[in-house]
Amino acid sequence: MIKERIRRVKRVYEKIKDEVLGDSYVRGVIKELKEKIAERRDLMIRSGMSDICRRCEKEEGGSCCGRGIEEKFDEALLFINAILGCDIPEFREEERSCLFLGKDGCKLLVPHVICINYICEKIERGVRKEDLSKLREIEGDFISLTFKLHEYIVKKWIF
Ligand code: SF4
Ligand code: SF4
């Protein structure tokens, strides 16, 4: 169950936080990840994608962040969010929505790859092709950094 995984990750992270944050490999990847998170967020706003999603959620009856998607998260991915300083939610705001969905969108800094890859028709119609392909490029780097860190965490701290 996701709530047990979240609690375990929080417990373990509190215990080994200093070791994790002192690890030079982790620090290097986290620095690059933060840059990609900022680039992605910035482009989502500038391209109008964030507005389309906000309207979809608030005015058109709900987004694609459905209940159950949270179960796809393993402990290492939750751990990456904890390292980034994310306060991982343990309580759902909307019955029909993903546990991590808040009023202003996803509360996580590193969502699941299925969330990152998903592009719906509204986005395809409403966002310029150049912006979408730039977004794909940034997300490609974002996913590969996440994957590298995920592997490292699994090997080093055995999740
Ligand atoms: S990706 Fe599409 S379905 Fe999901 S919130 Fe945005 S507009 Fe709505
Ligand atoms: S983007 Fe965030 S809130 Fe939406 S389904 Fe993915 S993890 Fe859940």
The number of folded domains in the chain is: 1
How confident is the model over 22-29, as a mean pLDDT? 98
DSSP 8-state secondary structure symbol assigned to residue 99:
T
Q: How confident is the model at residue 28 (pLDDT cuts 50, 70, 90)?
A: very high
Ligand 1 atom nearest residue 118's Cα: 1
Measured in angstroms, how far is the CA atom of residue 157 from the centroid of ligand 2? 25
pLDDT digits (tens, 9 = 90+) for 48-95: 999 999 899 888 877 799 999 999 999 999 999 999 999 999 999 999
Question: In which domain, by residue range, is 31 found?
Answer: 2-157
Distance, CA of 159 to CA of 36 (rounded, Å): 25
Instruction: Specify the 3-state DSSP secondary structure of 84.
Output: coil
Residue whose CA is closest, atom 4 of ligand 1?
Answer: 64
pLDDT at 59: 85
Amino acid sitting at position 121: E
Closest CA to 90 of 1, 148, 3: 3
Enter the pTM of the model.
0.94
Is the CB of residue 40 less than 8 Å from the CB of residue 139?
A: yes
pLDDT at 60: 83
How confident is the model over 103-132, as a mean pLDDT? 95
Ligand nearest to the CA of 65: 2
